[in-house]
Structure 1
Amino acid sequence: MARTPVEVSWFSALCDDDYEFLGQIEPSLQSSWEHCRNIALTAEKNGFDNILLPSGYQLGIDNTAFAAGIAGLTSKIRLLLAIRVGEMWPPQIVRQLATLDRMMNGRLAVNFISSEMPGETMASAPRYARTLEAMKILRAWMNGQHVKHQGEFFQFDLAPPRISTVSGQSPYFYFGGLSEEARDVAAQEADVYLMWPDTVANSKAVLDDMNARAATYGRTLKHGFRVHVVVRETEAEAREAANRLLSKLDAATGDAIRARSLDATSVGVRRQAELREAASANDGYVEENLWTGIGRARSGCGAAIVGDPDQVLAKINAYRDVGFDAFILSGYPHATECDLFGRYVLPRLEHAQLKL
């Protein structure tokens, strides 16, 4: 079956999210410039198209500073910078993004996150309204437009900054969320709608809904799938590696890790919990090769594709066949699993950076 090439991305663990055993702090795997740099360089060496630079607060290192540092050390891989709306003022953000894109020679993409700020309590509807305003304003400025905006959260009558992106256009906007408000924001303003792991059938239902929503705004979307991977030469070895990840995790530690996330009560996080509850009590698999055990120590992306190279490839292709155009992958430890996926699976995938 002929398939359109997909974008295959890796993940740099900037937020202290790297382990040999989930829940067990290993100093050499904690976020640092050296460690996260090595993950990014490993991803570029293996031929990945993109790398997600996540955003955190108390844990890890700053992703914008990291993006500036890694820009000159990479030459091909696209950098997907996560931005939490409300953390920085839009005129500041647009200058940073344009500057970073110049430093990367046009390799920047942006992942918008709609979450409360530390110490902030904000209902879902206004929080997503703030996100939509910010996305519209930033896209207009980066497209070289003068912004006249009088909204609930931002008020501007301001020309775009002198410095622009390399293309003179906005970088691609990635955005995810399962709530009604999140889906509507994505339908209006995202270029790539991101999902956390789900069954193939339920993923298709979400994508069908998102395509219909986007069509009501006269738009089309690309779709991305954020999931962990555990690939080994045999299925038995992959399952053993997955089980080893959890071998030192106790329930209280897992609960504490999940609870400290700012999005711990979101619709998407609840869906990850539902998948764990629906999975087999014996082995944690909710369907063939989709393992939910990893969610015992993660608030968000809580499942992994587990298997031998043929099985992992087949599972990714099953998601491609229901409409996914991009995959953001990760595994533990991140540099090690990046090498394994780069060796066993990536050469067999038709892949390239997304073009809209």
Structure 2
Amino acid sequence: MTQNQPLLFNAFLMNTPSHIQHGQWRHPDARQTEFDNLDLWVDLARTLEEGLFDAMFFADVSGLYGPADGRYVDNVHEGLQIPSNDPTVLLGALAAVTDRIGLATTSNVMQNPPFNFARQISTLDHLSRGRIAWNIVTSTQENAARNFGLDALVEHDERYEWAEEYVDVAYKLWEGSWDDDALLVDRSGGRFADPDKIHKIRHRGARYSVEGPHLPSPSPQRTPLLFQAGGSPRGIAFAARHAEAVFIATPSPEVARTHIEGARAQAVANGRHPDDIKFFQGLSIVAGRTEAEAQRRYDDLLQYASVVGFQTHAALGILPDGTRLPEDTPLREIPNNGGRGHVEWLLQEIKDREPVLGDLVRRRLIGQAVVGTPDRIADELERWRGAGVDGVNLVNWRLPGSYEEFNELVLPELQRRGLAKTSYGDARTLRGRIFGSDRLPDRHPAAAYRGAFSEASRYAASVVP
């Protein structure tokens, strides 16, 4: 399926000083300390468009890592996603200074009512002319739950049930509230739009009551490109039903292959096509013109890496007083109502013994770093593509240097091998570039709401045959 296709590339980012590679902000060349300065992101966006990146993929959180009542001294010292700013606001600015690159935001189901969120996304999709994506998440943090008025984080699988209703409301607003020909802009007749073709959705569910109609007119994509990241069984089931792009962080191409084949089989069982979902593996790259140069660069990066930062980000085994469980504590014995995908993948990778907490921290510290010459990096990316991976979420070490290094050293070799595109092509929307169509296909569950709220449809549904 992906054997002869160029890989897709996203820049994996966060509007914070320390996102994934903790400790790197301390390096004098690292500009992620300027995360609250728009100039950094504008400069980076232009660099990424020069490198033909498909999207700027912004992660986000709405709370602290660790126990809700615990100390957060390490989080603050490390700059570990605190301070952090709202990526959705940033996308509005980036839409004005970019032309082709996609703009993906992360928003969890707790932080924004679906009516308001759907309106914000439609606005951004209009402003960007169809380049917006949404990374659907359910949150993993107790502190985040308390920030939005909950006593505790909802149980893991129940959070996905919440997400099912949340996306259902959004689909109704994006796909069903306005007919395709509702917008008239009839100057002589004094009719901006046709009221008979704009519909209230009248949603009533377990969590939400939303009347509608959707206030924005249909944007170029209507529904944004839908990302999701989840490796638990419930997360995979959600992706198989809803996602168009799935972010994975599997420890090897072999584990990736198993995950991808299983998720695509579930998508088919839901009436979708196996290639309706693209899979993006998280990788970091350290390139050099020689192996020795690449290793020197990698050694310099590791010199600044913060073990405490990675331990805190792992967010397992931290007790309320700030102490940590021993590194030899089996992962299966640690309560985990957060992100289970990393643990699930680690259990698949380590088969000869019981994985322990130290394995999780070391995996996060080492990550999926590909170190070497452009030729060696291309070889490794071919392995991932051969396992069914469609694209890469490229994790940065330092901004903007990681992406400048990629553009200069790695991209030409990838293009020579057919592993990276040589132009953006003619499609203007993000979905159009990735899937060849601006709109979701009819087999996606959101498509069921097209025309569902017209008076004729409601009358027909009420008539008993």
TM range (shorter): 0.7 to 0.9
* Structure 1 residues 272 and 212: CA distance shift in structure 2, 3 A: closer
1:131 Cα shift?
Answer: 1.4
- In 1: Cα distance, 2:364 partner to 2:220 partner: 39
* Structure 1 residues 228 and 276: CA distance shift in structure 2, 3 A: farther
- In 1: Cα distance, 2:163 partner to 2:232 partner: 14
Which position in structure 2 is the counterpart of 1:91? 115
What SS is found at the alignment partner of 2:224?
A: coil
Letter aligned with residue 104 of structure 1: S
- In 1: Cα distance, 2:26 partner to 2:420 partner: 36
- In 1: Cα distance, 2:262 partner to 2:346 partner: 22
1:230 Cα shift?
Answer: 1.6
Which position in structure 1 is the counterpart of 2:315? 259
- In 2: Cα distance, 1:73 partner to 1:305 partner: 31
How many correspondences in the alignment?
Answer: 339
Supply the RMSD in Å over aligned alpha carbons: 3.1
User: Of the candidates 131, 134, 150, which is equivalent to residue 110 of structure 1?
Assistant: 134
* Correspondence list, 1:200-349, <5 A: 200-220=253-273, 221-249=277-305, 251-259=307-315, 265-271=338-344, 295-296=364-365, 302-347=367-412, 348=415, 349=419
User: Of the candidates 343, 350, 354, which is equivalent to residue 420 of structure 2?
Assistant: 350
TM-score w.r.t. the length of structure 1 is 0.84
8 Å CA contact retained: 2:283, 2:393: yes
Letter aligned with residue 95 of structure 1: R
Which position in structure 1 is the counterpart of 2:11? 10
8 Å CA contact retained: 1:55, 1:63: yes
Q: Which runs of 5+ in 2 are unaligned?
A: 63-81, 147-151, 178-199, 317-335, 352-358, 425-432, 437-465
Please tell me whether residue 81 in structure 1 is matched to residue 94 in structure 2. Answer: no
Q: Which string of whole-angstrom CA distances, capped at 9 and with x for unpartnered residues, describes residues 138-190 of structure 1?
A: 133212345343332223343332332124x3121011101111011101111
What SS is found at the alignment partner of 1:225?
A: strand
Matched residues, percent identical? 20
Please tell me whether residue 53 in structure 1 is matched to residue 58 in structure 2. Answer: yes
Which structure has the larger Rg? 2
- In 1: Cα distance, 2:381 partner to 2:375 partner: 10
1:110 Cα shift?
Answer: 1.4
1:228 Cα shift?
Answer: 1.8
Which position in structure 2 is the counterpart of 1:154? 208
What SS is found at the alignment partner of 2:400?
A: helix
More off after superposition, 316-325 vs 232-241: 232-241
Which position in structure 2 is the counterpart of 1:282? none
User: Of the candidates 150, 174, 180, which is equivalent to residue 142 of structure 1?
Assistant: 174
What SS is found at the alignment partner of 2:14?
A: coil
What SS is found at the alignment partner of 1:245?
A: helix
More off after superposition, 176-185 vs 303-312: 303-312
Which position in structure 1 is the counterpart of 2:252? 199
Which position in structure 1 is the counterpart of 2:32? 29
Which position in structure 2 is the counterpart of 1:175? 228
TM-score w.r.t. the length of structure 2 is 0.66
Which position in structure 1 is the counterpart of 2:160? 128
- In 1: Cα distance, 2:31 partner to 2:5 partner: 39
1:200 Cα shift?
Answer: 0.6
What SS is found at the alignment partner of 1:109?
A: strand
What SS is found at the alignment partner of 1:147?
A: coil
- In 1: Cα distance, 2:385 partner to 2:20 partner: 29
- In 1: Cα distance, 2:114 partner to 2:298 partner: 42
* Structure 1 residues 251 and 170: CA distance shift in structure 2, 3 A: closer
8 Å CA contact retained: 1:22, 1:246: no
* Structure 1 residues 328 and 252: CA distance shift in structure 2, 3 A: closer
